Amino acid sequence: MAEASWPSEAEVNEMRNLVSSMAGRDPGEVRIVASPYRICPLGAHIDHQGGAVSAMTINRGILLGFIPADDAKVVLRSGQFEGEVHFSVSDVQHPVHSSKKDVNHTTDSPNRKEEDSRWGKFARGAVFALQKMGHSLDRGITGYICGSEGLDCAGLSSSAAAGVAYLLAFESANNLTMSEVENIELDRLIENEYLGLRNGILDQSAILLSSHGCLTYMNCKTKEHELVRPFKLQKDHQSDLQKSYKILLAFSGLRKALTSNPGYNRRVAECQEAARVLLKASGMDKVEPLLGNGK
């Protein structure tokens, strides 16, 4: 039995109808971004230390349906979270971790629910990243975002998938053309500088660089990457057969958002402290304290 493709035609049509109803526009005007989740056989706490990682995307992820607005207004709803996000792409966005006062939410309704303040950050972060790179945005979007059922905050990089989805949507609405490498850097700005998460570039690189059936390999120090295709076996010296494999995802049922959990950044700091000790013992205490900088 063939594996179901993602997104399905039914999912896309449902998304078109939802956004069409929100915007009061024709379903044919709705644009769809599919941003997949990823797995990483080698990656946890290696990417931000300049190591070599591997990853691949799966056939589940985030769908963002949107229609470019006629003005700078952004209106968003979510399939997972309550509330409605409202802001303008013409407003200057500020990092959410830079101040106890959440200054970048001043354009929202004072009755905005707490859910909004959490999930709305990724859209604002995308605008922040584009602004920081010198891009002027004139058009907002009316959109609806939804992740594959049961897999949000499950360790498959739903946050990076959301960031990438919003970047692609705002770029499309404003006729901006970005390369995969540029969008990797833009999503890094969302997570490192806007949200204050000290992670590396593994997640967004996997989402933007992966290809069906391949493993993505990346050297996080040099940013060089390649696609590793499945091995082939010879049978009776007559034909090559592609080696089959399956990926098992085991979910503990525990959900934690890295941006609200200090444990991740604490582990990054611990890696840097270990690197500092090892590099000093090796006579290399003048280099940046990353484990990947050792000989």
Question: Which residues are catalytically annotated?
Answer: 203
Residue 78's nearest CA partner among 126, 34, 144 is 144
CB atoms within 10 A of CB 124: 25
Rounded Cα distance between 209 and 55, Å, is: 10
CB atoms within 10 A of CB 252: 7
Residue 124's nearest CA partner among 96, 148, 150 is 96
Torsion of CA 11, 153, 268, 105, to 10 degrees: 80
Q: What is the DSSP string of 231-261?
A: PEEEETTTEEEEPP--------S----GGG-
CB atoms within 10 A of CB 118: 14
Q: How is residue 192 annotated by DSSP? A: I
